[in-house]
């Protein structure tokens, strides 16, 4: 009688083979690919691009984040709508030796550098394919992510990693007083998942490398987003319920608009600040005007010194005076909290706008690290209300799925 495998034995063999080939990996930053055991040397780029999803942002070795479009190309073809990220980045201010100092990105200028110990530590473009190799120069000692076994790791499905510190940049006076001994690692990353193709994550680790504590530290995420080619028809808003700053298209003549109502929003996913008075760690939303060369603007982006940078991060005017809500005629640290759908409350005017969400104060003890993670989300719907609702719904989902953005702090 010929030998035959009974059905239940066949099922058992299949199941055993399947589980034998699976590798359990509980570390969200671990590479899922099998090692190829090839020697590989990372080479830093002056600028590198994320291309794994629809938002193809780039990062430069001085900490600037930018790109030509925050929407897929086919969206522009279908709707004639563009969302352009001119530049974005982290601002940090701290009191050091009894004087304010600041690391900033202003209008495309920066006083960050990725040069450490004579080496350029960014931008490193990392993919799962690269992590299959034996990387000889993984910058773990400079805060690059590793898994639970100490092996090189990646956030998301594609990552741009840089290790930054302050340096003097004579192009602007506010860039002449960087914070000393502050290491800032910047990891810009994204996922291939279809529900995350319009999202970019930026994780910052701030580490005090000095022997003295840093006090009264404030941080903020600045971005200059232009919706459509006529950016003077943009406006900024702040949704207090979700802690989201957003840029939207606000034509002076709504009837003349031929564009889709795109919205680009930024939120903190984590921050050193934990205060029930400030949902989602946002301690201020600052109005920032384009100066067009005028340095005397009370809320302009051209700053004269690090004191003014600290005032901005406190959500004050450049000279330290309060913002005034023109509807209530009262001081506030949250600009443009009105509802653009109903036309009520304090609304931004149509112009070339910038936005800034801030968090602070907090302290950084010697050798201590703190994490700030930002999500940039873009939505394009026919109606402004639908775009805003889509943004807020997606942000809620991201916040609830902590494995997307909550990782161990570097031990180095």
Q: What is the pLDDT of residues 160-205, one digit of tens each?
A: 999 999 999 998 889 999 999 999 999 999 999 999 999 999 999 9
Q: Is the residue at 411 inside a domain? A: no
pLDDT of residue 383: 87
CA pair distance 88, 105, nearest whole angstrom:
7
Strand partners, 225: 85
CA pair distance 302, 370, nearest whole angstrom:
28
pLDDT of residue 71: 53
Structure-token pair, residue 330: 């009262």
pLDDT of residue 309: 95
pLDDT of residue 26: 39
Burial track 102-117 (b if 16+ CB lie within 10 A, e otherwise): bbbbbbebbbbbbbbe
CA pair distance 111, 381, nearest whole angstrom:
37
CA pair distance 303, 297, nearest whole angstrom:
9
CA pair distance 96, 268, nearest whole angstrom:
25
Nearest one of 339, 368, 168 to 240, comparing CA atoms: 339
384: phi then psi, degrees, rounded to nearest 5: -60, -40
Q: Is the residue at 56 inside a domain? A: yes
pLDDT of residue 229: 65
Q: Is the residue at 15 inside a domain? A: no
Nearest one of 335, 295, 296, 300 to 315, comparing CA atoms: 335
pLDDT of residue 1: 42
Task: List the chain pLDDT tens, one digit each, 412 residues.
Answer: 443 434 433 343 333 343 344 433 435 554 444 555 689 999 999 999 999 998 889 999 999 999 855 555 444 434 445 778 889 999 999 999 899 999 999 878 999 999 998 889 989 999 999 999 999 999 999 999 999 999 999 999 999 999 999 999 998 889 999 999 999 999 999 999 999 999 999 999 999 999 999 989 999 999 999 887 667 888 999 999 999 999 998 876 655 555 668 899 999 999 999 988 898 999 999 988 886 555 557 898 889 899 999 999 999 999 999 999 999 999 999 999 999 999 999 999 988 889 999 999 999 999 999 999 999 999 888 889 999 999 999 999 999 999 999 999 998 8
CA pair distance 368, 271, nearest whole angstrom:
14
Count: domains in the chain: 1
**Cβ distance 171 to 109 under 8 Å?**
yes
User: Largest alpha-carbon pair distance within the chain?
Assistant: 98
Q: Give the number of other CB atoms < 10 A from CB of residue 6.
A: 8
Taking all residues of the chain, what is their mean pLDDT, rounded to a whole number?
Answer: 86
pLDDT of residue 161: 98
Q: For residue 323, what are the domain limits?
A: 26-404
pTM for this model (two decimals): 0.89
Structure-token pair, residue 301: 């982006």
Please write down the HEC assignment for all residues of the chain.
CCCCCCHHHHHHHHHHHHHHCCCCCCCCCCCCCCCCCCEECCCCCCEEECCCCCCCCEEECCCCEEECCCCCHHHHHHHCCCEEEEEEEEEEEEEECCEEEEECEECCEECEECEECCEECCCEEECCCHHHCEECCCCHHHCCCECCCCCECCCCCEEEEEEEEECCCCCCHHHCCCCCCEEEEEEEEECCCHHHCCEEEEEEEEEECCCCCEEEEEEEEEEEEEECCCHHHEEEEEECCCCEEEEEECCCCHHHCCCCEEEEEEEEEECCCCCCCCHHHCCEEEEEECCCCCCCCCCECCCCCHHHHHHHHCCECCCCCEEEECCCCEEECECCCCECCCCECCCCCCECEEEEEEEEEEEECCCCEEEEEEEEEEEEECCHHHHHHHHHHHHHHHHHCHHHCCCCCCCC
Q: Is the residue at 140 inside a domain? A: yes
Q: Is the residue at 6 inside a domain? A: no
Q: Is the residue at 5 inside a domain? A: no
Q: Is the residue at 276 inside a domain? A: yes
Q: Is the residue at 317 inside a domain? A: yes
């Amino acid at each position: 009688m010929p030998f035959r495998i009974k059905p239940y034995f066949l099922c058992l063999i299949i199941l055993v083979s399947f589980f034998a080939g699976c590798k359990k990996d509980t570390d969200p930053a671990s590479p899922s690919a099998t090692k190829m055991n090839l020697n590989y040397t990372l080479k830093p780029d002056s600028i590198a691009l994320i291309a794994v999803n629809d938002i193809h942002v780039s990062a430069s070795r001085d900490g600037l984040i930018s790109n030509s479009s925050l929407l897929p190309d086919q969206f522009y073809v279908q709707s004639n709508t563009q969302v352009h990220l001119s530049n974005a980045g982290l601002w940090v201010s701290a009191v050091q030796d009894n004087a304010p100092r600041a690391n900033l990105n202003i209008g495309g200028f920066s006083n960050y550098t990725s040069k450490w110990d004579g080496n350029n530590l960014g931008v490193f473009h990392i993919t799962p394919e690269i992590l299959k190799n034996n990387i000889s120069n993984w910058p773990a000692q400079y805060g690059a992510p590793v898994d639970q076994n100490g092996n090189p790791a990646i956030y998301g499905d594609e990552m741009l990693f840089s290790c930054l510190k302050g340096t003097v940049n004579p192009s602007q006076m506010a860039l002449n007083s960087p914070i000393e001994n502050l290491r800032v690692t910047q990891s810009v990353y994204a996922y291939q998942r279809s529900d995350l193709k319009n999202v970019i994550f930026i994780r910052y680790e701030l580490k005090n490398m000095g022997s003295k504590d840093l006090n009264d530290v404030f941080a903020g995420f600045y971005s200059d987003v232009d919706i459509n080619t006529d950016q003077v028809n943009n406006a900024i808003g702040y949704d207090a319920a979700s802690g989201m700053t957003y840029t939207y298209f606000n034509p002076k003549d709504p009837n003349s608009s031929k564009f889709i109502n795109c919205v680009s929003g930024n939120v903190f996913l984590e921050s050193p600040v934990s205060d029930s008075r400030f949902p989602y760690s946002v301690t201020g939303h600052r109005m920032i005007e384009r100066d067009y060369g005028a340095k005397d603007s009370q809320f302009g982006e051209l700053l004269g010194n690090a004191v003014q940078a600290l005032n901005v991060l406190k959500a004050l005017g450049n000279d330290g005076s309060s913002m005034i809500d023109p509807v209530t005629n009262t001081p506030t640290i949250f600009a443009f909290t009105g509802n653009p759908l109903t036309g009520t409350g304090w609304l931004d005017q149509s112009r070339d706008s910038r936005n800034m969400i801030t968090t602070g104060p907090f302290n950084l003890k010697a050798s201590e690290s703190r994490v700030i993670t930002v999500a940039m989300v873009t939505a394009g719907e026919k109606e402004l209300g639908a775009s805003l609702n889509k943004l807020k719904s997606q942000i809620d989902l991201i916040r609830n799925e902590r494995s997307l953005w909550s990782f161990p702090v570097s031990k180095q």
